[in-house]
Amino acid sequence: MPIATKSDKIDLSSENKTEELAKKFLIKLKPGSIIFLYGEMGVGKTTFVKYLVNAYQKKYNLKQTEVTSPTFNLLNEYQIKQFKINHYDLFRLKSSNELRNLGLFEDNLNTITLIEWPQIIKEKPENLIELTLLYEDNHKNRSAQIKGLDL
């Protein structure tokens, strides 16, 4: 039975719950998956990515690396055995024209693509998973909503 439908909210009131959510994504994702991460600054988008990347590294007995936001360089890549994880942060981009040279959705058969601040992307790819992280109760708690994936 799925834990989330399109309208359900998942409680992320602790970092442990964010880590649990990332581990559930790990079970469902495969190369070619594309995830758009929505949410205000500081709500936990990069924290989610960190737990997801580190869970893959642990699964494949790889050294766990530090996962940081690619705000300034736009892309961090993580090689996971036969596939890689591309983690984009589009916060600094001002127009969709700036996306042309990034190759966001090119050659992604062996890639899991994670994109923070995807609002600038005009055409959504097929098989898109959208993860929205939200503040609740005046920033005291957090939650998540998932579209395009049943956990």
**pLDDT per position as a tens digit, 59-115:** 999 999 999 999 888 999 999 999 999 999 999 998 888 888 888 888 788 999 999
Nearest to 90 by CA among 68, 115, 63: 115
Q: Cα 143 to chain center, whole Å?
A: 15
Cα–Cα distance, 111 to 31 (Å, whole number)? 5
Q: Which helix (H) or strand (E) holds 75?
A: strand 75-80
**pLDDT per position as a tens digit, 21-54:** 999 999 999 999 999 999 999 999 999 999 999 9
* pTM over cut 0.75: yes
**DSSP one-letter code for 50:** H
